[in-house]
Amino acid sequence: MRRYQLVVMGVSAGGTTALKILLPSFPADYPLPIIVVQHLHPTQTNFLVTHFNAQCALTVKEADEKEPLLPGILYFAPPNYHLLIEPDRTLSLSIDEKVNYSRPSIDVLFESAAIVYKTGVIGVVMTGANNDGAAGLRAIKEYGGLAVVQDPATAEVPYMPQAAMAATSVDHVLPLADIGALLREKAQLLL
């Protein structure tokens, strides 16, 4: 039976609304780290971290350079930085060029997660207005990870989930409530 070690999520337009539904569904003792890339304005404040820390049982924080990934922590990519995972499973921030007009880019996170975690990563693409996340989810599938996409019919902006579905064969296409249930179930395989 496959043992998952990490969840990576990507959202863009409509993302805050989607995350308000999904993130509070995780218990404080969720056994995997979760990393979220939400497309942000370069000068965005830390509103998301503050807001979700108040709404979630998990500890929510902005990712820091060289920080080790720990279970039960929800990491947000900081504004205007790409977030990557290094081979030693620490986080790395980059100001490299934008990818898909975005920094942070979902593809950058997902591709690094696929390389490091291989079959142990779950990638989730949700609402958004561009194709960021599609190539990254394809990389997760190519390395043997699990690909999950929000049902486009339930997305505030369906383009990003549709692009992900066009880029690779996904394992699950689900509404947000069912994505939370699936991620809780997959983490239980560790216990």
Of the listed 82, 105, 112, 132, which one is catalytic?
Answer: 132
pLDDT in tens, 104-125: 999 999 999 999 999 999 999 9
Top-confidence residue, 9 or 39: 9
Surface-to-core class of residue 143, CB atoms within 10 Å of its CB (0-12 exposed, 13-18 middle, 19+ buried): middle
pLDDT in tens, 89-106: 999 999 999 888 889 999
Name the one residue in this structure whose structure tokens are 């549709």.
Answer: 162
The yes-or-no verdict on residue 190 having pLDDT over 60 is no
pLDDT of residue 17: 95
Per-domain boundaries in the chain = 6-188
Q: What is the CA radius of gyration of the chain?
A: 15
The yes-or-no verdict on residue 160 having pLDDT over 50 is yes
Of the listed 12, 102, 105, 112, which one is catalytic?
Answer: 12
Per the annotation, the verdict on 39 as an active-site residue is: yes
The yes-or-no verdict on residue 191 having pLDDT over 70 is no
Of the listed 29, 39, 51, 178, which one is catalytic?
Answer: 39
What is the percent of the chain where pLDDT is above 90? 87
pLDDT of residue 43: 73
Per the annotation, the verdict on 132 as an active-site residue is: yes
Q: Which of 120, 37, 140 is nearest to 82 (CA)?
A: 37
In words, the CATH class of domain 6-188 is alpha beta
Mean of pLDDT values over 58-76: 96
Per the annotation, the verdict on 12 as an active-site residue is: yes
pLDDT of residue 1: 60
Contact indicator for 123, 160 with CB cutoff of 8 Å: no
The yes-or-no verdict on residue 68 having pLDDT over 90 is yes
Rounded Cα gap, residues 63 and 40, in angstroms: 14
DSSP reduced 3-state for 13:
coil
Mean of pLDDT values over 3-22: 95
pLDDT of residue 40: 78
- Residue 148 — very low, low, confident or very high, per pLDDT cuts 50/70/90? very high
pLDDT of residue 47: 82
Cα–Cα separations (whole angstroms), residue 139 to 16, 43, 114, 165? 25, 30, 6, 13
- Residue 183 — very low, low, confident or very high, per pLDDT cuts 50/70/90? very high
